[in-house]
């Protein structure tokens, strides 16, 4: 009984969390003048699906933007997770001189504000010729600091005796990493993957500056098409944004499965 009450309470709480999301969907089916109407109505008096149609078909379709965003986000995330895991393992499971100092340098790197890196990055990318290509977003996206921090956190918590006995058996660090740590780390890897994917997917500033050709545009850039000269086409924008959240949600659900599985298997191991 108590559980039921708590569940209901949490759902009310959760409703507040998803309110903007619901607003997005509601707006995407409304007429322009209804966007700011007060009092707020969930369902429009003259609902329309034309904004959603325009997202998938017609000259202003977003399909290409989705493919571009998918390509960039998937490659970047897979790479980022891998490189971060490798580095996190190094920072946590291997004893070597200077390790902790270097980690502090890392931490400081994480604190550097993005705005000031823009112009130097632009100069660099222009010089090496990846300006106006997807590489300009993928390449830096492969190297995160937060990922290293997050995964190191997890690796530290794994008891040392497991890997020590494997080393006594003659296994090298790389073997331990691949065969023992990675499988065990599935929940953390999945968590970081979800968060990293959402960063790449929603990234706007980088895409704006480094992508010139329309064919290369991502979804977040595409949303700019709805910013007209004097006004903003909120209905169209919300329709495109709603559709844009679908891959994110899919990634989240897939990630959840890994997290749950990983936890289930570690529970079995005890």
Partner 1 sequence: MKKTGIVLALVLIAVSVLSACSSNGKESGGQAESSAEASKDVVNLTFWGGVPPEAGPQEIVDNWNKENPDIQVTYVRYVNDDSGNLKLDTALIAGQNVDIFANYTKPLLTKRVSSGAALDLSQFTDYNIDDKMGPSAKEWAVDGKYYAMPTKRNMHFVWMNKDALDEAGLPVPTDWTLADVEKYAKALQTDTRWGYTTFPFWRDIVPFDGSLAVQGYVKEDGTSNLGAPIVEKALQAHYDMMHTSKVSPPISLIETTKMNVIAEFLGNKLALLNAGEWMFRDANNLTDYPRDFKVAFAPLPRITQEQDDFRYLGGLGDAIAINAKSEYKEEAWAFLKWYADGGMLPQASGGRIPASKDADQDKAVELLLGDLEDKYDVESLKRILNNDLPTFQVTLPQEVIDLRREEFDKYYIKAQSLEDTINNVAKRHNDYLKRK
Partner 2 sequence: MKLNWMRKQQLTGYLFIAPNMVGVSLFIIIPALFSFFLAFTNWEFPLLKADFVGLSNFKRLIQDEVFYTSLKNTLIFLGSVPVSVGLGFLTALILNKSVYFKNALRTMFFLPYITTGVAIAFVWMLIFQPENGPINSILRSLGIDHPPGWLSSTSSAIFVFDIIWVWFLLGYNVIIYLAALQEVSSELLEASRIDGARKLHTIRFVIWPLVSPTTLFLLMTGFIVSIKQMGIFQAITDGGPGNSTTVLSLFIYKTAFRYYDMGYASAISVFLLLIIIAITAIQWIAQKKWVHYS
Contact by Cβ (8 Å): 256, 53: no
When the beta carbons of 68 and 144 are compared against partner 1, the nearer one is: 68
Among 46, 58, 59, 113, binds partner 2 (CB under 8 A): 113
* Interface map 190-229 toward partner 2 (x if CB under 8 A): -x--xx--x--xx-x------------------x------
Two tokens, residue 210: 């480094």
* Residue 184 contact partner, candidates partner 2, partner 1, none, CB within 5 to 8 A by sort of partner: none
The per-type count for the chain, helices as H runs and strands as E runs, is: 14, 0
Spatial contact of 15 and 38, defined as CB atoms under 8 Å apart: no
From start to end of 41-182, where are the E strands? none
Partner from partner 2, partner 1, none contacting 185, C-beta within 5 to 8 A by type:
none
User: Nearest distance from residue 76's CB to partner 2, in Å?
Assistant: 12
102 interacts with partner 2 by CB under 8 A: yes
3-state secondary structure of 229: coil
Q: How many CB atoms lie within 10 A of CB 270?
A: 4
The DSSP result for 109-138, as a single string, is HHTS-THHHHHHHHHHHHHHT-TTSTHHHH
Q: Is 244 in the site for partner 2 (CB under 8 A)?
A: yes
Q: Which is nearer to partner 1, 1 or 268 (CB)?
A: 268
Q: Shortest distance, CB of residue 157 to partner 2, whole angstroms?
A: 7
């Amino acid at each position: 009984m108590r559980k039921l009450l708590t569940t209901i309470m949490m759902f009310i709480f959760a409703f507040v969390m998803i309110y903007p999301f619901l607003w997005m969907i509601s707006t995407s089916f409304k007429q322009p003048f209804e966007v700011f109407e007060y009092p707020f109505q969930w369902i429009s008096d003259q609902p329309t699906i034309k904004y959603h149609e325009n997202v998938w078909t017609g000259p202003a379709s977003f399909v290409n933007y989705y493919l571009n965003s998918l390509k960039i986000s998937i490659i970047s995330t897979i790479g980022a997770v891998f490189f971060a895991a490798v580095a996190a393992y190094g920072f946590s499971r291997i004893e070597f001189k200077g390790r902790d100092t270097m980690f502090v340098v890392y931490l400081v790197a994480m604190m550097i504000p993005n705005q000031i890196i823009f112009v130097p990055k632009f100069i660099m990318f222009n010089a090496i010729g990846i300006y106006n290509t997807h590489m300009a977003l993928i390449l830096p996206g492969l190297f995160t600091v937060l990922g290293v921090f997050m995964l190191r956190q997890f690796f530290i918590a794994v008891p040392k005796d497991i890997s020590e006995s494997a080393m006594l058996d003659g296994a090298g660090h790389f073997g331990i990493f691949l065969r023992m740590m990675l499988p065990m780390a599935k929940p953390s890897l999945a968590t970081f993957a979800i968060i990293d994917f959402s960063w790449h997917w929603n990234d706007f500033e980088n895409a704006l500056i480094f992508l010139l050709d329309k064919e290369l545009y991502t979804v977040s850039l595409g949303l700019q098409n709805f910013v007209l000269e004097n006004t903003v086409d909120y209905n169209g924008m919300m329709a495109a944004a709603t559709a844009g959240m679908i891959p994110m949600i899919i990634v989240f659900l897939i990630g959840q499965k890994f997290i749950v599985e990983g936890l289930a298997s570690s529970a079995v191991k005890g």
